[in-house]
């Protein structure tokens, strides 16, 4: 009886977590405004500065989309010291690079 109850509860918990993960709003890179920032060798601060769910899948999508948008695939090393564009995924009109917030010029 305990084993049956345990399996039911585990199954319900797993089904609930799968259902909830499907409800999390996904970042919209296609419709995001892209803002120019200096590239200091990392984009993690840009990702962390956006008000989006912090998941491994979203971080992977962020890295890929930023590299693709800047014409380098997922490799941005050649851009160190130059300007790249980061997506404003939360629509607040700004992105973060390092410790600095950058706003759209429009």
Q: Is residue 9 part of a domain?
A: no
Asked if residue 19 is part of any domain, the answer here is no
Task: Decide if 16 is inside a domain.
Answer: no
In the chain, how many domains are there?
A: 1
The yes-or-no verdict on residue 13 having pLDDT over 70 is no
H helix or E strand, kind and range, residue 35: strand 33-38
Query: Is 7 contained in some domain?
Result: no
pLDDT digits (tens, 9 = 90+) for 50-82: 999 999 999 999 999 999 998 876 667 777 778
Of 93, 16, 8, 9, which Cα lies nearest the Cα of 49? 93
User: Is residue 2 included in any domain, yes or no?
Assistant: no
Establish if 6 belongs to a structural domain.
Answer: no
Tell me whether residue 54 is in a domain: yes
| pTM for the predicted model, two decimal places | 0.72
Domain that holds residue 37: 27-103
Within a domain: 57? yes
CB 71 within 8 A of CB 77: no
């Amino acid at each position: 009886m305990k084993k049956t109850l345990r399996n039911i509860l585990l199954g319900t918990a797993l089904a609930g977590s799968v259902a909830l993960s499907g409800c999390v709003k996904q970042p919209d890179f296609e419709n995001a405004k892209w803002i120019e920032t200096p590239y200091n060798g990392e984009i993690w601060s840009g990702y962390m500065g956006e008000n989006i769910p912090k998941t491994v899948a979203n971080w992977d999508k962020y890295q890929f989309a930023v590299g693709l948008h800047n014409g380098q695939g997922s490799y941005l090393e050649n851009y160190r010291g130059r300007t790249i564009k980061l997506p404003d995924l939360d629509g607040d009109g700004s992105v973060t690079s390092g410790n600095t917030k950058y706003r759209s010029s429009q």
